[in-house]
Structure 1
């Protein structure tokens, strides 16, 4: 175990990944997860095991799991150990372990992490003082608001945020965009709201919006959300009907649904579509209809966007909520209005195969992949995955065992866990050393000047 290996695992989600670690825990194999952390240096196993042990109050065991990782000096493990100590009530030990030196106090990231630890230890004023020199960064201002939630420090936070909020307004008055302070107005309103000063928060943001003294999106959406949370729907309707309808109409429609007025929300969005056939309105309405179980209506609304490019394509937002509902997913994909995903037809092939497998129709699922093998790195691994999805675990395991590939061993891990053979699954899974060695064998892919690959997949 060394820092380089640990950092590599964390940055690439490798070793036994978080998803696979969670699978072990879901099947009750905490002891095996602990053993994998100790014997194989599996970071995600150590992290998740410590979390589970702390949840049950077994802080001593959690520290035993984390200690070898912290002993490497790796910062992430040291902070994880400090969190365990804090939860165990050993506050001074936790703070001493990661207390920043002079160099650390110059780092916004280090100060943010230590401030969160201080706040967790009840030393909120020290936490705030630590952040003050770094309040020029928006994410530090957000941290300030978060660590003081419920700590009776709202007045001080408002004072600290005021200069940045005023600077943002002044910049807009002067015709400039001050992106570095664009969140300050929104954050002040958030603090006023939690302090019970809702009317004041609404008044201040209303003035900013009326004078257009905000960066597009920030204070505007904060104002709309504030009105929605406090039932000011008439004001929100007037706001959403203006020049910012594309930004705010969905907030109003969501608020109507939250108040049991789903039909009215649908009418509002359909009227907006008739006046402005914008993809955002279609996306909201189709998703809302799907949520209400009206798949055919959702398809009809979204269909004009099924063949658009990437982020504007409206097929994928309907597919993803249906991945665990294979019958409806297949109905969507076989609907006469559904067309290939523009430029990414392979996704539709995979979705169809996945839906068929989820319905137990393994042979049909495999036939889809065999008819369209090009997008897949190795269709044999995909075939085994479809067998597993269809419930044919023994057949899937046999297919994967025949493949002399690390990827196959990683997929076999999941099948073995589902078969109740978790210890064998861990022994089968490639070690970190094997994964890193395999990665090193791959030659670098040539890149264009813009950093994208010259070879598929681009």
Structure 2
């Protein structure tokens, strides 16, 4: 076990990936997961085992699993190990494990230490640790989250207000960024929870009116604040003006929660008619689906079914119909796609079609179509094996996966063997972590030699 191999596992989900480790635990193979962590240095197995053991109250065994990983000095392992130590009552050891070595490269290295101090009941010390390092949103938000409900709101405001005021001044001077640009939202959040919502609303209302904000999140937070405080008129003005893109969904939710569904629908349809904004269309789809109007929701999404970006609602419409018990209508909807769209999106269309055929119990038809796909196409073998397994033809599925060169083929084979009650064989079939890492690096070098701009996030 070494840091390079651990970092590689975390970066590319190498070794036994997290979903596979979770599957082993879910199916009752905790001892094998512990063994894989101990003998193979499988990071995701170690993490899954620790989580399961701690949930069962077996913190001593959890510590024995994570201790070798923490001994490498790798930060993610140290963080998990500190949590185990804390649950064992070894607070001093937990704090020592996450306390960064000085001098630190970045102030955020103090975050885990501050959080552990807070868990240990030493909140004022934790605040003092964070106070010199609040030049980024992550540390600012940690301060706010860490102190919620702890009667430290005035102290937090003392630290956040200068950042927020600095951001307001910077924006007024025409600057594009400032370390406190998201402190506007956080300041308002703390004011609200401190019972000073009127002050929070006043600040943000001025910020919005005078364009003293840097990110759209500020508009979103302001809309949520107005909704929580019942300021419906102000929210209506925000949501139907220049900030509709961000605020309209909050306004619709307020109307819907108040039983004013028809009004919410009317507002959305009017703005969709005027702007054809895909985000507003999504909000209307959600509203209609929430009230069981699935056919109406599908029709609202229909104009987007040929889009080439994230505004496409086709998959969403298919899911709604399947969840409503109408997979045959979902398949008919998919079959309406133009030949041009199918040509541009062959994998997603094919995957949806085969899934729907299987859902309808038409396994042989789905298997025949999957088998006709050229083997070299992306994860064709994984798709075919999944259909064969669902159809009860496990031996054929195994034969496909054993000979597959698909990017996700090895993971699919491992999980197939686990589901078939052969977890020991599944783990034994995997090369060691170091061997996998070396093979990945070799493939990466080859890929980069052929194309220096190639994506280096290759499969494992």
Find the counterpart in structure 1 of residue 60 from structure 2.
60
**What CA distance in whole angstroms lies between the structure 2 residues aligned with 1:175 and 1:408?**
53
For each residue in 1:187-240, what CA deviation from the matched residue of structure 2 results, as whole angstroms up to 9, or x when unmatched? 001111222222222222222223332224132211101112233323211221
8 Å contact kept, 2:378–2:406: no
1:107-256 to 2 correspondence within 5 Å? 107-256=106-255
Give the aligned length: 453
For each residue in 1:138-161, what CA deviation from the matched residue of structure 2 results, as whole angstroms up to 9, or x when unmatched? 221111111112222111111111
Consecutive unaligned residues in structure 1, runs of 5 or more = none
**What CA distance in whole angstroms lies between the structure 1 residues aligned with 2:324 and 2:363?**
13
**What CA distance in whole angstroms lies between the structure 2 residues aligned with 1:436 and 1:247?**
44
For each residue in 1:232-265, what CA deviation from the matched residue of structure 2 results, as whole angstroms up to 9, or x when unmatched? 3232112211121122111211232334433332
Aligned-pair Cα RMSD in Å = 2.9
Give how far 1:300 is off. Answer: 1.6
**What TM-score, normalized to structure 1?**
0.89
Find the counterpart in structure 1 of residue 312 from structure 2.
313
Runs of 4+ in 1 over 6 A off after TM superposition: 446-449
**1:83 and 2:83 aligned:** yes
**What CA distance in whole angstroms lies between the structure 2 residues aligned with 1:378 and 1:238?**
50
Give how far 1:56 is off. Answer: 2.0
8 Å contact kept, 1:86–1:94: yes
Find the counterpart in structure 2 of residue 44 from structure 1.
44
Find the counterpart in structure 1 of residue 386 from structure 2.
385
Find the counterpart in structure 1 of residue 417 from structure 2.
416
For each residue in 1:339-383, what CA deviation from the matched residue of structure 2 results, as whole angstroms up to 9, or x when unmatched? 436832321111111222234322222233344438723523321
Deviates more, 1:299-308 or 1:405-414: 405-414
8 Å contact kept, 1:308–1:342: no
Distance 1:287 1:388, change over 3 A: farther
Deviates more, 1:222-231 or 1:407-416: 407-416
Give how far 1:316 is off. Answer: 3.8
Find the counterpart in structure 2 of residue 17 from structure 1.
17
Distance 1:86 1:232, change over 3 A: same
**What CA distance in whole angstroms lies between the structure 1 residues aligned with 2:430 and 2:207?**
57
Give how far 1:180 is off. Answer: 3.1
8 Å contact kept, 2:327–2:359: no
**What TM-score, normalized to structure 2?**
0.89
For each residue in 1:406-440, what CA deviation from the matched residue of structure 2 results, as whole angstroms up to 9, or x when unmatched? 95442122222222333333223443234224323
**What CA distance in whole angstroms lies between the structure 2 residues aligned with 1:95 and 1:299?**
53
For each residue in 1:265-319, what CA deviation from the matched residue of structure 2 results, as whole angstroms up to 9, or x when unmatched? 2222112112222222112222333444433322221222222222232324445
**What CA distance in whole angstroms lies between the structure 2 residues aligned with 1:150 and 1:342?**
55
Deviates more, 1:210-219 or 1:59-68: 210-219
**What CA distance in whole angstroms lies between the structure 2 residues aligned with 1:341 and 1:233?**
45
Distance 1:118 1:91, change over 3 A: same
Which one has more relative contact order, counting CA pairs under 8 Å at least 6 apart?
2
8 Å contact kept, 1:303–1:338: no
**1:444 and 2:447 aligned:** yes
Deviates more, 1:145-154 or 1:392-401: 392-401
8 Å contact kept, 1:406–1:435: no
Deviates more, 1:9-18 or 1:124-133: 124-133
